[in-house]
Amino acid sequence: MKLKTLYIGMMQTRKKIYVERCMAYSEKQAWFLLCKRVSKKAGIPYNLVLDWFSNPENYSIRVEVEYKEE
């Protein structure tokens, strides 16, 4: 069974920078989860957030902790 990895994402809008962490299987899944969280916190539609962060200059996602099976 594959283990989830802890990702940290920094997402910048015109007014604010959001720093969030999430557990995901891939960077793409982490991107979707982070977009969903930003949408909920900012109170804006999910599809608008996806459009904002479709440009890689507006966000960065990196692995914070990678878990391995023994």
State residue 40's pLDDT score: 94
State residue 37's pLDDT score: 94
Q: Round to whole Å and give the CA distance between 69 and 36.
A: 29
Q: Are 5 and 63 in contact (CB under 8 A)?
A: yes
Chain position carrying tokens 């957030």: 49
Tens-digit pLDDT profile for residues 16-37 = 899 999 999 999 999 999 999 9
Residue 2 DSSP code: P
Which is it for strands 5-12 and 59-65: parallel, antiparallel or unpaired?
Answer: antiparallel
State residue 4's pLDDT score: 92
Residues constituting the chain: 70
Mean pLDDT of 32-60: 92
Q: Round to whole Å and give the CA distance between 31 and 21.
A: 10
